Amino acid sequence: MSKATISKQEAFQIIEKFNQLNASRAPIAEFVNLIDIENFEIRLQGSNIFFKGIAGLADHQIGKQIFFDQSFDCEFIHSHMENDQMIVETKGVWYAKTWQYPAAYSQQLIADLRHTWRLEKQSDGHLLIVSHVCEHFAYREGYSPTDHTQEFHLLLK
């Protein structure tokens, strides 16, 4: 690991790129330059929902196939260094639509989010996301899912 300095702007750019790829359902190969493919973790705080490595990210993305027109508004809150890692806290909003047969229309989902990200510079100077913890996920009133499903994003209320 490198003792190189990590700027909050550089870290936030990586986070925004991750969110853009996540929302656009980009191929998993597009994430390779953004995450630590072996050690990367996604967690939902207070639950047993956990994804590990590039395979875990693929599982996460497969589960989100039921959503379309996704986007994230992401706002930087705070950052600090902890050993060789930059810890970044963000808040934001997730917008997505879902549709399930036999519904006549798609359903708009809107959820408020708060995340903690850990990023680390590699020995070659490349900055990677090591972990992404969703600290808070709450649907806005009138924008929570009404359909029954097993996809975990729809079970959060």
pLDDT tens across the length of the chain (157 residues): 445 689 999 999 999 999 999 999 999 999 999 999 999 999 999 999 999 999 999 999 999 999 999 999 999 999 999 999 999 999 999 999 998 878 889 999 999 999 999 999 999 999 999 999 999 999 999 999 875 555 667 677 6
Look at the pTM and tell me if it is higher than 0.85. Answer: yes
* Per-position b or e across 65-76, b if 16+ CB within 10 A of its CB: ebbeebebebeb
Q: Can you count the helices (H) and strands (E) in the chain?
A: 3, 6
Q: Where are the domains of the chain?
A: 8-155
What CATH architecture applies to the domain 8-155?
Answer: Roll (3.10)
pLDDT value at residue 1: 46
pLDDT value at residue 2: 45
